[in-house]
């Protein structure tokens, strides 16, 4: 674990603990916590995010990209923290994430989404991928 990864982990852990304490104070039931991590590395070649001057797509995979989620549920309120190894996401992806959250019983306003801003991930804009 690198120093920046460790620092980010402890910041998220502190944030989660403060949210969990707040939820426990206002909730009526036991606090349930769910964790998930998924490999989101694209297969094949892709255009890389943040490389506007690059004239060709990726040539391989150096490190796997992940998506992670922590969900808190106290029986009254459910909220989620979602993190992606991506440079950024666009409105289309945000809409899909909000719809998935609602399907899981999490109101969109109870979802916090973070991207690590890596330039080692895929470009998600439809404009660039149409080239």
Query: Which residue ranges make up each domain of the chain?
Result: 3-129
Q: Does residue 25 register a pLDDT over 90?
A: no
Which long-range contacts does 16-24 make (Cβ < 8 Å, 24+ apart)? 16/70, 16/72, 16/81, 19/72, 19/79, 20/72, 23/72, 23/74, 23/77, 23/79, 24/74
98-124 residue pLDDT tens: 999 999 999 999 999 999 888 888 888
Q: Check residues 31 and 20 and name the one with the higher pLDDT.
A: 31
Which long-range contacts does 126-129 make (Cβ < 8 Å, 24+ apart)? 126/90, 126/92, 128/47, 129/46, 129/47
31-73 residue pLDDT tens: 999 999 999 999 888 888 877 777 888 888 888 999 999 999 9
Answering whether pTM is above 0.85, one says: no
Q: Does residue 20 register a pLDDT over 80?
A: no
Q: How confident is the model at residue 130 (pLDDT cuts 50, 70, 90)?
A: very low
């Amino acid at each position: 674990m690198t120093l920046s990864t460790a620092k980010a982990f402890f910041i998220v852990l502190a944030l989660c603990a403060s949210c969990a304490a707040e939820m426990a104070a206002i909730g009526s039931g036991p606090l349930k916590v769910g964790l998930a991590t998924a490999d989101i590395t694209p297969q094949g070649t892709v255009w890389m995010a943040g490389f506007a001057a690059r004239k060709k797509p990726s040539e391989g995979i150096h490190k796997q990209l992940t998506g992670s989620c922590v969900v808190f549920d106290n029986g009254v309120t459910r909220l989620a923290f979602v993190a992606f190894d991506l440079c950024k996401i666009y409105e289309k992806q945000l809409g899909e994430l909000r719809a998935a959250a609602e399907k899981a019983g999490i109101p969109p306003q109870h979802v916090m989404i973070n991207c690590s801003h890596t330039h080692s991930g895929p470009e998600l804009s439809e404009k660039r991928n149409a080239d």
